[in-house]
Amino acid sequence: MVVFVSYAYFYAGTSANSNSRFDLVRAIVEQHTLCIDSYQQNTGDKALWNGHYYSDKAPGQALAAVPVVAAARAVLIAAGANPTSRRSLWFLNYLATLTTVVVPGALAAGCLYFICLWLGCSANGAFFAALCYALATPMWAYGTGFLSHAFTASCLVFAFAAAVALRRFRSPRHDIWLGSAVGFFAGWATISEFPAAIPAVILAVLAAVHARAGGADRLRRVVLAVTGAASLCFAVLWAYQVAAFGSLFNLGYSHHATFSQTVHTGFFGVTYPKLNVLLHLLIGTRRGLLPLAPVLILAPFGFVTLWKQREARSSTLAAAAIALYFLLFNASFLDWYAGWIYGPRYLSPGLPFICLGLAPFWMTARPWLRGVLLGFALIGAAQSLIAVSTTISPPDAIKYPVRDYLWPAFRSGRIPLNENGFNLGTLVGLRGLTSLVPLLAGWAVLLLLGVALNKPQRAQRRNTD
């Protein structure tokens, strides 16, 4: 609930990236077509094919938002509102963000909590890791706009949770459900962000490894379930590709109307990891992950602890491989800096898998080291709060975005900086830092509620001891 409230309270506004996806949603809902000719002027992220404009993005997230936007648009029309007015479009875009980013993001944080428990971590460590992922990394920023990174990360976490759950056999039906969840969510992550294909394969292999311990019949059952569910996602992508571009392999990105140099460099802009880019991504002043989320510095030590547990080794290896993959992918991409954005967004789907290491580290750390962990987490959360309050799109030319751009704006109460963005406080007339008061009050209420709910459990543990 804390994560849901924290994400839903802010709306980052529109950008070329989010507009490209939302234009596709509008085209489907309003005109029953896949071309975005009527809306293409508001984005540079578009493909030009056969005289028509299309979104250059993978379609998964946009397709997931279509039913909700269509229903909400029908309600607006029934209420006599103009569904294409500026205010209506803001509402529909925010609703699409709620359903495909905020809700999945909150559920993913909950899933990460249970994954940590299943891998033998303490409840406190699992809670710390889940909150760090959601609020103490740039994921909080990506969770406030109609961007695919948080959505893709959530789908991968759901698939990972199902694959980890397959370590225990309950029934053949349970195997089919879990295998189908692995295939569907890993597949939908792939058709939402094509680079997620490699992690999807890793998660499918993890599911097979866990099923193999139960014998050939169980392995066959799980593999068929994973393959069948993934095939449904593949069929959706195939249908979209053929309808829009005439072929499964004729990707919209190859007809990008703006970044032609990127498209024709390497494999759609991907070459090989470069050391200087890796350093920029990890410790750079503009995009560096560790300055924005310093708690992640200690996550690798937690993986060492997880590796020592024999039953957790396959899951630990898969999580580490996915986290490393996204880092190397980002370092291999020509446009690795990703435009005006807070932090390194191309590697962000790997963040929940990095944060997995925080739970065992917290569990085994001494009290003073836990204090260091908590301090690092608070630094990351504070910077993320500043970003979501002002803008998640600081100009790329600024060398120190938080220090020189976001913090001065936050301190002076220029909230939000993006004219298309808002927070729920500003919607009720609050201005500046005062607009954050309802969020702080909500946090306080949830904290008191959590303490009250934990009192009986603590008393029961003391009586048992």
Q: What does 115-141 look like in DSSP terms, one character per residue? A: HHHHTT--HHHHHHHHHHHHHSSTHHH
Count the neighbouring beta carbons within 10 Å of the beta carbon of residue 344. 27
In a domain, 434, yes or no: no
Return the structure tokens found at 390: 């002002």
How large is the greatest C-alpha to C-alpha distance in the chain, in angstroms?
74
- Residue 462 lies inside a defined structural domain of this protein: no
- Helical spans, DSSP H, in 27-147: 60-78, 86-97, 103-118, 123-135, 139-142
Q: What are phi and psi of 110, to 5 degrees?
A: -65, -40
Based on DSSP, count helices (H) and strands (E) in the chain, helices before strands. Answer: 23, 4
Q: pLDDT per position in the chain (465 positions), as tens?
A: 889 999 999 999 888 889 999 999 999 999 999 999 999 888 888 888 888 999 989 999 999 999 999 999 999 999 999 999 989 999 999 999 999 999 999 999 999 999 999 999 999 999 999 999 999 999 999 999 999 999 999 999 999 999 999 998 888 999 999 999 999 999 999 999 999 999 999 999 999 999 998 889 999 999 999 999 999 999 999 999 999 999 888 887 777 766 656 666 777 778 889 999 999 999 998 899 999 999 999 999 999 999 988 888 999 999 999 999 999 999 998 888 878 899 999 999 999 999 999 999 999 989 999 999 999 999 999 999 999 999 999 998 899 999 999 999 999 999 998 878 899 999 889 999 999 999 999 888 888 887 776 665 555 545 444
Joined together, the tokens standing for residue 69 give 């936007």
Q: Is residue 285 part of a domain?
A: yes
Q: Does some domain include residue 465?
A: no
- Record the tokens describing residue 122, joined without a space: 């303490």
Query: Is 25 in contact with 69 (CB distance < 8 Å)?
Result: yes
Structural domain span for residue 194? 2-427
Cis peptide before 438 (omega within 30 of 0): no
Radius of gyration, alpha carbons of the chain: 22
Q: Are the C-beta atoms of residues 373 and 358 closer than 8 Å to each other? A: yes
Long-range contacts of 22-25 (CB under 8 A, 24+ apart): 22/62, 22/65, 22/92, 22/93, 22/96, 22/146, 23/55, 24/54, 24/55, 24/57, 24/59, 24/62, 25/62, 25/65, 25/66, 25/69, 25/96
Domain count across the chain: 1
Q: Are 139 and 8 in contact (CB under 8 A)?
A: no
Distance, first Cα to last Cα, the chain:
31
Which residue, 382, 398, 417, is CA-closest to 337?
A: 398
Bridge-based pairing of strands 52-55 and 46-49 is: antiparallel
Is 439 within a domain?
no
Residue-level pLDDT at 321: 96
| Nearest alpha carbon to residue 125 among 400, 422, 364, 455 | 364
Cα torsion at 110, 115, 118, 124 (round to 10°)?
-60
- Per-residue confidence (pLDDT) for residue 187, from 0 to 100: 97
Of 258, 146, 164, nearest to 207 by C-alpha is 164
Strands 46-49, 422-423: parallel, antiparallel or unpaired by DSSP?
Answer: unpaired
Is residue 440 one of the residues assigned to a domain? no
At position 159, the amino acid (one-letter code) is A
Q: Based on the number of CB atoms within 10 Å of its own CB, is 377 exposed (0-12), middle (13-18) or buried (19 or more)?
A: buried
DSSP label of 422: E
Do 269 and 256 form a contact (C-beta atoms < 8 A)?
no
Angle between the 103-118 and 123-135 helix axes, to the nearest 10 degrees?
A: 150
Instruction: Write down the pLDDT at residue 465.
Output: 44
pLDDT at res. 458: 53
Tokens of 380: 């990351």
Phi then psi for residue 285, to 5 deg, are -75, -25
> What per-residue confidence (pLDDT) applies to 449?
81
Query: Is residue 448 a part of any domain in this protein?
Result: no
Q: How far apart are CA 119 and CA 312, in angstroms?
A: 6
Would you say residue 24 lies in a domain?
A: yes
Residue 47 DSSP symbol: E
